[in-house]
Amino acid sequence: MIHSNKPYLKRCFLYHKGLMPYLEAHTWQRSLLHERINNPNLDDVLILLEHPPVYTLGQGSSPDFLKFDPNHSQFEVHRTERGGEVTYHCPGQLVGYPILNLQRHQQDLHWYLRQLEEVLIRVLAVYGLEGSRIPSFTGVWLEGRKVAAIGIKVSRWITMHGFALNVCPDMTGFERIVPCGIIDKPVGSLAQWIPGITCDEVRIQISQSFAEVFGVELVESVGG
């Protein structure tokens, strides 16, 4: 269990998973979301994991941002219901899926997106790195490189999907897309600033930052 000096009024179950196929995680998210739509009293959830190599496109994203034929791809390609354009997931990238009831927090999607950014900006600050926002874009940048992508879906104020922070991934997969549909801004990973950094250590920092920003008590859980 993760504690701080701040009193918490809300509980959030934390699931630390290793490498999980994208569709398996997606099915799990949808199950958690529908359970909470049917019973809004259920506690919030935060899932932290990594995915095998996979490309995902947001609900309205353009296939023009793919530099390959999705029907003949080396890796899986999935269109999903989140917002945002195409992105790439792979080992070394830490993905967070918060399943939150925003009626307990704030019923404002812009607020929620800014809070997710704040979680990651605080994580970077732990390592002496100054993460930043760029107006009109969603995500977190570090010295002009996008190190974290965010895409969400909200149904009846219950959230799914979330954020992806490049910790130490093989970046070559990003070369086959226009990440997030942003042509003139490169992507980066924390390993470019902190050689040897691992997802395991960053998981701890994300958990603590998430608890602080959203004012929750994280309860580590198993199963799922």
Q: What residues contact 149, with CB distance under 8 A and at least 6 apart?
A: 84, 87, 138, 139, 163, 164, 179, 180
Residue 2 is assigned to a structural domain of this protein: no
Residue 157 is assigned to a structural domain of this protein: yes
Residue 5 is assigned to a structural domain of this protein: no
Range of the domain at 39: 10-221
CB 33, CB 160: distance < 8 Å: yes
Residue 139 is assigned to a structural domain of this protein: yes
Catalytic residue among 12, 90, 168, 180: 180
For the chain, the domain total comes to 1
Tell me the pTM: 0.92
* Distance of alpha carbon 52 from alpha carbon 49, whole angstroms: 10
pLDDT in tens, 43-57: 999 999 999 999 998
Catalytic annotation present for 180: yes
pLDDT in tens, 11-63: 999 999 999 999 999 999 999 999 999 999 999 999 999 999 999 988 877 77
pLDDT in tens, 138-186: 999 999 999 999 999 999 999 999 999 999 999 999 888 776 666 667 8
Helix (H, G, I), strand (E, B) or coil at 64: helix
* Distance of alpha carbon 47 from alpha carbon 171, whole angstroms: 23
CATH number, position 120: 3.30.930.10
